[in-house]
A = this chain, B = another copy of it.
Amino acid sequence: MINFRFSCPTEMIFGKDVQLMAGEETKKYGTRVLLHYGSGHIKKSGLYEQVTESLKKAGVDYLELGGVQPNPRLSLIREGIRLCRENGIDFILAVGGGSVIDSAKGIALGAVDNGDVWDFYEGRRKAQKALPVGVVLTIPAAGSESSVGSVVTDMDNANKRAYDDEIIRPKFALMNPELTYTLPPYQTACGAADIMAHIMERYFTRVPHVDLTDRLCEAALKTVIGNVSLVLAKPEDYDARAEIMWTGSIAHNDILSTGRVGDWSSHMIEHELSGINDVAHGAGLAIIFPAWMRYVYRQDISRFAQFAVRVWNIEMDCFDPEKTALAGIDALRSFFKFFGLPVSLAEIGITSEHYERIAGNCRRTNGDAVGNFMPLQSSDIINILKIAQ
């Protein structure tokens, strides 16, 4: 186990009707709010009205900026920054999923900075401050509601970049599983894949003796695996939706990272995919993660065998642990496929002609080598893309 720091100051407020507390929670931090959201779905569902009523009741002024798309755009963030500056906004309330929250974090960074917000995402500067952000969560997936990260896409240059900083961790997250009842099956599955990927990025480490966090990761993975089929069979299963929603936060608030170094190369490769074709993040991960596993598992067959045995209940072949390890990878890929996610690049129209560019971008953005479990060179990335083809 390696040294670490951990705290999770985001106030997680979880359960039925918690969205009605948006006003009183917001008021603890600000009085002139940017209400940030995505499509018009929250207007149809009645959530928009519930949140705005709650803000009004608490005496909080608000201004609106909707239109966040999946893989949130730098262009909208720039618009939000302008709005905040012109209107003396002191708090951003994100109502939506990971894309809306990540977009809100980007605006929060830029609104109190004089330079270009993209500098942070490109790694050219570290932010000094940010507006406080709160969340009403509607999609369990990204874990952004209690994380320090924000991932943004510059469509003009097909670049998707991440910025991590404690100062953009949300102050509170209102999490009502009922708000996820209307998520379509495909988006539910994408969310599950994203949550599982956040856990697996942490699970596949080369740091020895990480018993507690290994087991916590396995617990979280088994919870998602067990509950996805329940919500797909019955979209209004409150408890199953609740399990997935809460696991989505635990998966990414860094408690599962304590004392270990995660890998993150599947995420970095996936960022380049959706920079090219705008695939949903979870779907991109469903393609890349099993291929990455196939390519790197020989670095630590014991760990992959443990993953197979403990997460997928595959019987250990004590005479051939590699067989067990491979069976775990197959189980993951089959699981993704069963729930309608793509598991090959061909399915999303990415072909061998893109491989060089993906590998090149990925290397350029991430320095000398990509990932930690097995540091990848460009040739390794191309080999992984070939496995995923």
Inter-subunit contact A10/B11 (CB<8 Å): no
Q: Is A242 an interface residue (CB 8 A)?
A: yes
**B-contact 0/1 string along A1-36, CB 8 Å cutoff:** 111111111111111101000000000000000000
CB distance from A29 to the nearest CB of B (A): 14
CB distance from A286 to the nearest CB of B (A): 22
Cα A375 to Cα B5 in complex, Å, equals: 39
Known: A4-B12, A255-B255. 14 other contacts (CB 8 A): A1-B243, A6-B14, A7-B10, A8-B9, A9-B9, A14-B259, A209-B240, A209-B243, A212-B223, A215-B219, A215-B220, A216-B220, A218-B219, A246-B258
Interfacial chain B residues near A239, Cβ < 8 Å: 1, 208-209
Interfacial chain B residues near A246, Cβ < 8 Å: 1, 212, 258-259
**B-contact 0/1 string along A232-244, CB 8 Å cutoff:** 0000001110110
Cα A258 to Cα B245 in complex, Å, equals: 13
Cα A219 to Cα B221 in complex, Å, equals: 12
Q: Is A340 an interface residue (CB 8 A)?
A: no
> With contacts A209-B239, A212-B220, A223-B215 known, is A14 near B7, CB below 8 A?
no
Binding site for B on A (CB under 8 A): 1-16, 18, 208-209, 211-212, 215-216, 218-220, 222-223, 226-227, 238-240, 242-243, 246-247, 250, 255, 258-259
Inter-subunit contact A4/B15 (CB<8 Å): yes
Inter-subunit contact A7/B8 (CB<8 Å): yes
Interfacial chain B residues near A208, Cβ < 8 Å: 239
Cα A236 to Cα B364 in complex, Å, equals: 44
> With contacts A219-B212, A242-B259, A259-B246 known, is A8 near B8, CB below 8 A?
yes
CB distance from A228 to the nearest CB of B (A): 12
Cβ contact of A7, chosen from B12, B16, B218, B222, cutoff 8 A? B12
Cα A3 to Cα B255 in complex, Å, equals: 21
A-B interface, 10 closest residue pairs, ranked by CB to CB distance from nearest: A3-B15, A215-B219, A209-B239, A9-B9, A212-B223, A1-B242, A219-B219, A8-B8, A6-B12, A7-B11
User: Which residue of chain B is the closest to A253 with respect to CB atoms?
Assistant: B8
Inter-subunit contact A212/B247 (CB<8 Å): yes
Interfacial chain B residues near A242, Cβ < 8 Å: 1, 209, 259
User: Which residue of chain B is the closest to A226 with respect to CB atoms?
Assistant: B211
Cα A4 to Cα B175 in complex, Å, equals: 10
Interfacial chain B residues near A250, Cβ < 8 Å: 212, 216, 255
Which of A2, A12, A208, A219: most chain B Cβ within 10 A? A219
